[in-house]
Amino acid sequence: MQKGDILDLEIVSSGMEGEGVARVDGMVVFVPLCMQGEKVRVMVREVNKKFARATVIKVLEPSPDRTEPLCPIFYRCGCCDMQHIKYDRQLLIKKANVEACLYKALGRKVQVDDVRGDGKVYGYRNKIQVPLAKVGGKVVAGYYKGNTHNVVPFGQRVREDLGACVMYTGGMQDMLDAFLRYANEVGLDCYDEQKHTGFLRHFVARRVGDKYAVVIVANGKKLPLEKKLIEVLKNTGREFSLYFDSNTKKTNVIMSPDIKVLYGSERLDADICGVRAKVSPLSFMQVNDGVRDMIYEAVAERIKEDADKVVIDAYSGAGVLTNVLAKSADKVYGIEIVPEAVADADELTEQSGNVGKVENICGDCVEKLPALAEKLREQGRRFAVVLDPPRKGCDERVLDALKSAKPDKVYYISCNPATLARDLARLDDAYTIMSVTPYDMFPETKHVETLVCLEKK
Ligand SMILES: C[S@@+](CC[C@H](N)C(=O)[O-])C[C@H]1O[C@@H](n2cnc3c(N)ncnc32)[C@H](O)[C@@H]1O
């Protein structure tokens, strides 16, 4: 097989990235945007020792589960991976991916529940971060085409309640449209990553209820004619706050901590599972409100039933889950590495009336979790641990600390089935997997969130 070959292939399974997988003379070929059971004509793009990558030129025999994507630029934009697959089939693929990761890491079949969701397949994202670029002399917004930094401008809106990107709401689109009108009328230029010149970098917006936090991220110190932008945003008739984020570094990190309010309030009030949180544009929040609440409530329910009323919430972010859990526990410790998030968590704890009940610890779980677990063990306290790490999963030292402190229950929330499975294998001699429940936090994409409940052996 060589780069540039045209082949007719049968797709025999799905890969971890939501793509189709074919086999040619023992070689695995990954083919995005097709699915098991299909026959496709492809062009080979890359050949490595053990695998190749190819792109579809023509679908010869489509699966009955193939569907027309709602987004008109789905096949060009690199944002979603599964809009060409009927939703029920997407859920089966995600479940099978979780099962496959567990099988690979643990060497045995583990029972996995059906994927749960809240029924909202589009318009679910409460946060967007869109690169800005100049195309045809106009400032446009759109995501990068897969594996490139070339912006694919959004197409037309297909539904009034949705954005041009169907993952966010019509309200979010109103804010983006207003901003683009302003940017083009004022004649702003866009940032060039290679040359590190130019001004506009990203449009970031967060929806909290029916209010919007709009952040303009730019390579500069001041937004020109900010009053004009405030006026056009006001004309949308929507409630908003406006921020300017000055990001003058040569970096892939979207927002810098140098952010100031241009209009409205510093934070927006959110109600998350009965906890009134103040959300700033910089604080981490799960992107799908409905599914986030389902997961938080599932963990809180379990903890309510547990005998252990002390909980360590490791990787606790801005402390929302920590304070939700405080309703089910006597004492909750949050551990989070980002000091700003811990400051938010402290404020939230105070507002929620949980001072004394919730303690937010700033530091690396690698150091703080073993020390805290050891302290609780010495005091003879029984406790449960919630793990909600970033995609790379938990450091081995965190898992070792769990194995020596032996909390009765561990609840692991993960956005990456591969690192989740690796970590469960490391805990396997000490913990029994009681349940594995995937949640569809990111419909129409390859991503899946999973909650695993573990009990000490
Ligand atoms: C997936 S988020 C979970 C946040 C929170 N549980 C929630 O639901 O909003 C992971 C969090 O872990 C934090 N983090 C990453 N590495 C860490 C470490 N080594 N120790 C402590 N916190 C860490 C990140 O800053 C981030 O806030």
Give the mutation target among 255, 273, 297, 316 for probing the ligand 1 site: most ligand atoms within 8 A of CB: 316
- Please say if the pLDDT value at position 307 is more than 80: no
Calculate how far, in angstroms, residue 412's C-alpha sits from the geometric centre of ligand 1.
13
CB distance 316 to ligand 1 below 6 Å: yes
pLDDT for 18: 83
Q: Which of 47, 66, 85 is the last residue of a domain?
A: 66
Calculate how far, in angstroms, residue 395's C-alpha sits from the geometric centre of ligand 1.
12
Structural domain tally of the chain? Answer: 3
Burial of residue 148 (CB within 10 Å: 0-12, 13-18, 19+) is exposed
Q: What is the CATH number of the domain that holds 251?
A: 2.40.50.1070
Q: Which of 66, 91, 107 is the last residue of a domain?
A: 66
Our CA dihedral for 204, 285, 450, 377, rounded to 10 degrees, sits at: 150
| Position 143 in a domain | yes
CB distance 341 to ligand 1 below 6 Å: yes
Residue pLDDT, tens place only, 108-125: 999 999 999 999 999 999
Ordered DSSP codes for 185-204: HHT--B-BTTTTB-SEEEEE
pLDDT for 210: 86
Query: Same domain, yes or no, for 10 and 49?
Result: yes
Query: Same domain, yes or no, for 315 and 418?
Result: yes
Calculate how far, in angstroms, residue 317's C-alpha sits from the geometric centre of ligand 1.
5
pLDDT for 244: 98
What gap in Å lies between CA 178 and CA 171, rounded to an integer?
Answer: 11
Count, residues in the chain: 457
| Position 78 in a domain | no
Query: Same domain, yes or no, for 242 and 331?
Result: no
What tokens does 320 get? 């929302």
Measured by CA distance, the residue closest to atom 19 of ligand 1 is: 364
| Position 72 in a domain | no
What gap in Å lies between CA 398 and CA 412, rounded to an integer?
Answer: 12
Give the mutation target among 283, 284, 296 for probing the ligand 1 site: most ligand atoms within 8 A of CB: 284
- Please say if the pLDDT value at position 255 is more than 80: yes
Active site residue 77: no
CB distance 335 to ligand 1 below 6 Å: yes
The gap between the terminal CA atoms of the chain, to the nearest Å, is 50
CB distance 321 to ligand 1 below 6 Å: yes
| Position 370 in a domain | yes
The one-character DSSP state at 418 is H
Calculate how far, in angstroms, residue 249's C-alpha sits from the geometric centre of ligand 1.
24
- Please say if the pLDDT value at position 209 is more than 90: no
pLDDT for 309: 85
CB distance 320 to ligand 1 below 6 Å: yes
Alpha carbon separation from 372 to 86, 327, 367, 376, 430 (Å, rounded): 46, 21, 9, 6, 19
Q: What is the CATH number of the domain that holds 29?
A: 2.40.50.140
Q: Which atom of ligand 1 is nearest to the CA of 366?
A: 19
Catalytically annotated residue among 71, 80, 415, 453: 415
Residue pLDDT, tens place only, 171-185: 999 999 999 999 999
Residue pLDDT, tens place only, 337-375: 988 889 989 999 999 999 999 999 999 999 999 999 989
Domain that holds residue 30: 6-66
Q: Which atom of ligand 1 is nearest to the CA of 415?
A: 1
Calculate how far, in angstroms, residue 200's C-alpha sits from the geometric centre of ligand 1.
29
How does the average pLDDT of the chain come out, rounded?
Answer: 94
Give the mutation target among 297, 322, 337 for probing the ligand 1 site: most ligand atoms within 8 A of CB: 337
| Position 83 in a domain | no
pLDDT for 280: 82
Query: Same domain, yes or no, for 181 and 307?
Result: no
Query: Same domain, yes or no, for 23 and 48?
Result: yes
List of residues 6+ apart from 329 with CB closer than 8 A: 303, 309, 310, 311, 357
Query: Same domain, yes or no, for 317 and 416?
Result: yes
CB distance 317 to ligand 1 below 6 Å: yes
